[in-house]
Amino acid sequence: MNTPSSINRSRSAELFEAAKGYFPGGVNSPVRAFKSVGGTPLFIAKGDGAQIWDEDGNEFIDFCCSWGPLIHGHNHPYVFEKIVGTLQNGASFGAPTKKENELADFMLARLPFIDKIRFTSSGTEAVMSALRLARGATGKEKILKFDGCYHGHVDALLVQAGSGLVTFGTSSSAGVPEAFANQTLVLPLNNEAALIACFEEHHQNLAAVIIEPIPANNGLLLQDRSFLLLLRSLCTKFGVLLIFDEVISGFRVAFGGASELYGIQPDIVTYGKIIGGGLPVGAYGASNSIMSHVSPEGPVYQAGTLSGNPVAMAAGLAQLELCAADGFYANLAKRTQQFVDQINQFAQEKSFPVELICIGSIFWFSFNGKKRISAANQINSDMSAFNFIHHFLLDNGVYFGPSGYEVGFVSSAHTDNQLQYTAEKIMMAIETYYKNQH
Ligand SMILES: *Cc1c(COP(=O)(O)O)cnc(C)c1O
């Protein structure tokens, strides 16, 4: 797509050319390369509230929000103050600090389904550690995951489903030995019959089931609560641990994430993204008895040079304090609902085949009318509509994550005016795209 000639993106283009000489594909995480939507990634110079500016000085309303962590927008003054204040005492010690206690205390007082946690430095690390813990605690080896869920770049979870309903995974990345992939079973989401059959056949070897209770990494694939409840009861019945990967949903749809929203108790829960206030933090937590398997209390080894880093803990605590304010989640969800409702109403009136699906402050463009998608391959594989909308919005000062498989986020920093402006631009983009289709 051509950029209107009045928009200057030359500095981003130059920086991307240079970056290609430094990093594979010019980036340090693949989706940033704009491969999915086409064009050249923007290099971001700064952010403030819901706004970001690229290196050419172009301004955008940001709905990527660093892929989820920034629930209060960029550089919220309270989070900023806590980070800088903590940093004045040094960045890292590799010894215990009271900041770890403070964040843990704040979280555990509000998360009734876990007794203890361990901080890591990323969501991937939290998931990887949770799997090891599940295996160590049960003495079993196999893990069950669902097609369409993403759990970071953990070897044994970079797997795809085969053709049957219950299949052993085949690796979806080079460098993952088939022997690892074979330790993972893959099932479609929201399919009760397949789930029951799988448990009956494999429960003896299953250490854990891992699921994003609100799958939000391949579109927003909302699950029926009844499906999650069935999963819970099968895990209990067969002695299999249930891991809720709440790296994206935790502190996003409610303080206690999907577990709180749906009222379902996981055995192990993983967090990331929002928990770090924009700095690199992950965590996993469980009951005292399960966590007692973790080293040095127990035999399951897990460690980290920068785990529990005081600056990151301070950022996380500041952010979570703001999240815990009365009515915070209800208000954010209400504003997000209003934002998507007007777009959906418009699309419906004009019979454009697009619908924004949302939960809490997460939303996603669905282009095939399916609301309950049970597997990644049921998502419309033609992303040309999203790619058009993405570029149309960029040209109009609105930044979305550069892939139609990714969700958008509303933060508490987004003003009503910014949401209204964006809704109008989205409606214009949709109309322009579908008018040109004829
Ligand atoms: C983002 C994400 C991860 C990976 O977290 P990183 O911090 O990127 O390693 C894992 N699980 C879910 C559900 C995620 O959304």
Strongest mean pLDDT among 175-189, 300-314, 364-378: 300-314
Using N-to-C axis directions, what is the helix angle for 328-349 and 310-323, rounded to 10°? 70
Is pLDDT of 79 > 70? yes
Is pLDDT of 221 > 80? yes
Lowest-pLDDT range of 104-108, 239-243, 352-356: 352-356
Q: Alpha-carbon distance 409 to 400, whole Å?
A: 9
pLDDT per residue as tens digits for the range 306-328: 999 999 999 999 999 999 999 99
**Does residue 150 carry a catalytic annotation?**
yes
Residue 269's nearest CA partner among 280, 279, 256 is 256
Q: Alpha-carbon distance 409 to 108, whole Å?
A: 25
Is pLDDT of 393 > 70? yes
pLDDT per residue as tens digits for the range 223-262: 999 999 999 999 999 999 999 999 999 999 999 999 999 9
CATH code assigned to 77-323: 3.40.640.10
Residue nearest to atom 11 of ligand 1 (CA): 151
pLDDT of residue 168: 81
Higher pLDDT, 390 or 436: 390
Helix, strand and coil in the chain, % to nearest 5: 40, 15, 40
Are the C-beta atoms of residues 430 and 352 closer than 8 Å to each other? yes
**Does residue 273 carry a catalytic annotation?**
yes
Mean pLDDT of 184-212: 96
Q: What confidence category does residue 44 fall into, taking pLDDT thresholds of 50, 70 and 90?
A: very high
Number of H-type helices and E-type strands within the chain? 13, 17
Q: What confidence category does residue 379 fall into, taking pLDDT thresholds of 50, 70 and 90?
A: confident
Is pLDDT of 41 > 70? yes
Lowest-pLDDT range of 188-192, 211-215, 270-274, 414-418: 188-192
4 secondary structure, DSSP code = P
Lowest-pLDDT range of 164-168, 330-334, 376-380: 164-168
Name, in order, each residue with C-beta under 8 angstroms of 372's C-beta and a sequence gap of 6 or more: 190, 221, 222, 223, 224
**Does residue 245 carry a catalytic annotation?**
yes
SS3 at position 66: helix
Q: What confidence category does residue 42 fall into, taking pLDDT thresholds of 50, 70 and 90?
A: very high
Lowest-pLDDT range of 1-5, 300-304, 313-317: 1-5
Q: What tokens appear for 170 in the block?
A: 């085949």
Is pLDDT of 71 > 70? yes
Distances (CA, A) of 183 to 176, 179, 207, 380: 12, 7, 10, 30
Which value, in Å, is the radius of gyration of the alpha carbons in the chain? 22
Please choose from 158, 214, 273, 307 the residue to mutate so as to test ligand 1's pocket, defined by most ligand atoms within 8 A of CB.
Answer: 273
pLDDT of residue 372: 66
pLDDT of residue 1: 46
Q: What confidence category does residue 361 fall into, taking pLDDT thresholds of 50, 70 and 90?
A: very high
How many whole angstroms from 302 Cα to the centroid of ligand 1?
Answer: 18
pLDDT of residue 61: 98
Distances (CA, A) of 413 to 38, 58, 67, 157, 422: 29, 19, 15, 34, 14
Hey, CA dihedral for 426, 431, 436, 438, is it positive or negative? positive
Q: What tokens appear for 106 in the block?
A: 């704040």
Distances (CA, A) of 282 to 49, 78, 129, 265: 23, 21, 10, 20
Mean pLDDT of 76-100: 98
How many whole angstroms from 136 Cα to the centroid of ligand 1?
Answer: 22
311-350: b (≥16 Cβ within 10 Å) or e: bbbbbbbbbbebbeeeebbeebbebbbebbebbbebbeee
Residue 280's nearest CA partner among 126, 133, 412, 414 is 126
pLDDT of residue 284: 98
pLDDT of residue 371: 66
Residue 401's nearest CA partner among 65, 122, 64, 51 is 64
Q: Alpha-carbon distance 156 to 181, whole Å?
A: 5
Strands 206-211 and 142-146: parallel
Q: Which atom of ligand 1 is nearest to the CA of 245?
A: 13
Phi and psi, residue 119, nearest 5°: -85, 140
How many whole angstroms from 357 Cα to the centroid of ligand 1?
Answer: 21
| Cβ atoms within 10 Å, residue 79 | 25
Where in the chain are the domains? Answer: 4-75+327-436, 77-323
Give the helix ranges, DSSP H, for 242-327: 257-262, 288-291, 310-323
Mean pLDDT of 1-21: 87
Please choose from 31, 131, 145, 248 the residue to mutate so as to test ligand 1's pocket, defined by most ligand atoms within 8 A of CB.
Answer: 248
Percent of the chain surpassing pLDDT 70: 97
Mean pLDDT of 174-196: 92
Distances (CA, A) of 311 to 79, 212, 272, 317: 11, 28, 16, 10
Are the C-beta atoms of residues 7 and 39 closer than 8 Å to each other? no
Single out the catalytic residue among 54, 147, 245, 267. Answer: 245
Return the CATH class of domain 4-75+327-436. Answer: alpha beta
pLDDT of residue 165: 67
Is pLDDT of 369 > 90? no
Q: Alpha-carbon distance 293 to 271, whole Å?
A: 19
Are the C-beta atoms of residues 311 and 279 closer than 8 Å to each other? yes
Residue nearest to atom 15 of ligand 1 (CA): 248
Pocket, ligand 1, Cβ cutoff 6 A: 122-124, 127, 150-152, 212, 217, 245, 247-248, 272-273, 282
Percent of the chain surpassing pLDDT 90: 88
Q: Alpha-carbon distance 112 to 168, whole Å?
A: 34
Q: Do domains 4-75+327-436 and 77-323 have the same CATH topology?
A: no
How many whole angstroms from 248 Cα to the centroid of ligand 1?
Answer: 7
